[in-house]
Structure 1
Amino acid sequence: MTTTVKISEAKTHLSELLARVEAGEDLIITRGNDPVAHVTRVRKQSDMQLLLAEVKAARLKATPLSHEELLSWRDEGRR
């Protein structure tokens, strides 16, 4: 989710806004109606390693597709 705030509000509530960014929310800071900055969370290396571990675990649980099954999914709705 992206939140838009004016500079004055960002200065007043900076700690709260940064906590929301750390939780995954994006922030656009505007001067009037013109966007001047996009604030987003910096991903740590450990975050990426955790994500890769989750993906690898999910792939191990998945059953492999047969060639015929893959082709039937590709062709679904074409007839």
Structure 2
Amino acid sequence: MEAAAHQYNVHEAKTHLSRILEQVATGEEVVISKAGEPVAKVVPLRPQVKRTGRGSLRGAIRIADDFDELPEDIANAFGVQ
């Protein structure tokens, strides 16, 4: 069961923006309401994926010369000659 998000009205959100951002940074979700009605949800961003440079797996992976050739029984099953 998911825990309920913290809820702030617009005035509280303006006053306590730094606190709200700290809560969101730790993974919490915060709802901002106007006149008692939820109007926005502040959620943490997904962490950015750190990618290595192109060619970083060179030499670590070997692809066989016939990797894209279908075995005869599978080729026949799909009508590929």
Residue 41 of structure 1: aligned partner: 44
Structure 2 gaps, min length 5: 51-81
Runs of 4+ with >3 A deviation: none
Aligned residue pairs: how many?
47
**Equivalents in 1 of 2:35, 2:6: separation in Å?**
15
**Equivalents in 1 of 2:38, 2:46: separation in Å?**
23
SS in structure 2 at match of 1:45: coil
Identity over the aligned pairs, expressed in percent? 38
TM-score scaled by length of structure 2: 0.53
1:45 Cα shift? Answer: 2.2
Structure 1 gaps, min length 5: 48-79
Any idea what the Cα deviations from partners look like across 1:6-48, whole Å, max 9, x if unmatched?
A: 000000000111011000110000001111101000011249x
Q: Which has the larger radius of gyration?
A: 2
Question: Which amino acid in structure 2 is aligned with residue 24 of structure 1?
Answer: G
**Equivalents in 1 of 2:16, 2:48: separation in Å?**
28
Q: Could you tell me which of 6, 9, 16 is aligned with 2:9?
A: 6
Greater share of helix? 1
